[in-house]
Structure 1
């Protein structure tokens, strides 16, 4: 079984990829989408989204990262894929699942699920443009407004050269509302001869095991679930009794404190000042689902914007019990 880390625009960027792969359990990551709108992008754009290209297309923990492209024009997609291939990504992934209105309005992401023939043209062009040894994969939803073209879209991807298909088991119309319809994935598996990876609404070990059973897939892609519980991949491996899995002891809050500190350090080094506080709050907000301490931390930080004060708070984390009262240290 492989556990892949999902691309999530505005959330699962290179900072979280670094942190989550340090916790462990993930086999591969996919970058957030690099949007292709007509021109060949300069290297700095690829590197801004995926700085791991400077590290052999791996996170600092050594986990491979595949670059994702989003666009609808076969020529532009092929030209950018060829240009990106010079930088040595582990592979190229194609986004046919993004539900964002601004993306769909311009014919990208999930909107292409209405046109299997155009999907085939995009995949074929990219496959032909990059070296034969470089994997080209695809990520899709079950459809746009409904599931009527679900298998046709998957077949268009596989028949045109995609070596793997990740299926987010909801339509664009479903958005991110639960449930995910894992029971639809076997139809896609039966329609294609390439590996299919199940994705969507996997928050717990129990849901991961049920998804494997219902979908019939051997591999999973984890998104918000592993952001909320960074130990989720390790826990899934332990539950399956994998030989390389660690002891079943869960990753708990004290285990994550060094990673919270690293996260904040990287945010302050690499992101714009206006983004920094929000990114930490965003992660803590998701971790509230799993850790009571994250709930307390989120409430303490919710209205705080001063970077020096937040830095002092983060530095003090290992020495304190979040269940106790906390007052803000004076910023230097």
Structure 2
């Protein structure tokens, strides 16, 4: 199972926390948008500090570096540098739906031109050593799904080792539902692994996605942020169908404290507070207690005050 990249959410600290919990065998970093020039190594170390520790999280899970851009040669040059820095894999983002990204010839806007997808993947594949896998992530299309299979084939024929498909178009954004049924013909046609992504919030969603899509593997992002035990629950289900690995609310409070300690090295206290509040709000999708906690801390700017509130609630529920 793969931990999805989420800009500003699944950073090095969240990757560390979630892979320690378990259930993941691969992570993908936040995307590095490359456009007109070769970035220095410091940029890639900023987005993927794990490059300095063998390309793995503290729990030993590999982290592939994700790059995004529309110029094949520039993408290839940056991929070669990333490989030289020790990345265990390169992932290419053709799925980002953000308007600012798409306006600058990157992300999901490229899904309108299968030949460009092919050229970018081929250039990156040719620029990195053969033992370093190159993968890509797409959506089902830009404004419609008519080119989903054509785009997937273009990427596979260019030499990608794996393809992740977010089961919505760019124009559909993140609005439910995810159209898992469109993934089945892709998975049945391609000779490389196809990974399903989109609207996997629970174990039941995972099972439905696998059955409908025909994909053997999934990538989860927002689902595991809202339910930190999700990957562990899925892994436990595979080993023991009757197992229950779901976390209760006290365990989540402890995780929030762990996350605080991981991000203490951030220079800005307001940034620390922002990250803590952001995650607490997202946890509200699964835990109603987190919505109440977010209401209490939303105006706090000192991370120590937030941690104090968390510890006070933890002491109350454990009493």
1:129 equivalenced with 2:127 (yes/no): yes
Matched, 1:24 2:22: yes
Counterparts of 1:285-300 in structure 2 under 5 Å? 285-300=281-296
Distance (Å, rounded) in 1 between the aligned partners of 2:197 and 2:222: 11
Asked if the contact 1:65–1:90 (Cα under 8 Å) also holds between the matched residues in 2, the reply is: yes
1:37 aligns with 2:10: no
Q: 1:53 matched to which residue of 2?
A: 51
Contiguous gaps of at least 5 residues in structure 2 = none
For each residue in 1:48-89, what CA deviation from the matched residue of structure 2 results, as whole angstroms up to 9, or x when unmatched?
111111111111111111100000101100000001111111
Output the CA distance in 1 between the equivalents of 2:56 and 2:9: 19
> Does the alignment pair 1:301 with 2:311?
no
Distance 1:197 1:278, change over 3 A: same
> Of residues 147, 150, 153 in structure 2, which corresponds to 1:152?
150
1:23 positional shift: 1.2
TM-score normalised by structure 1 residue count: 0.92
**8 Å Cα contact 1:154/1:191 also seen in 2:** no
Q: Distance in 2 between matches of 1:316 and 1:128?
A: 55
TM-score, normalised to structure 2, is 0.95
User: Match of 2:218?
Assistant: 220
Residue ranges of structure 1 left out of the alignment (5+ in a row): 325-332
Q: Shift of residue 246 of structure 1?
A: 10
Residue aligning to 1:195: 193
**Higher alpha-carbon deviation: 65-74 or 7-16:** 7-16
Alignment of 1:1-332 (within 5 A): 3-240=1-238, 242=239, 247-270=243-266, 272-321=268-317
Superposition CA RMSD, Å: 1.8
- Report if the CA contact (8 A) 2:253-2:311 is conserved: no
Give the conservation status (yes or no) of the 8 Å contact 1:57–1:65.
yes
Equivalent residues of 1:234, 1:246 under 8 A apart: no
Q: Which residue of 2 aligns with 1:329?
A: none
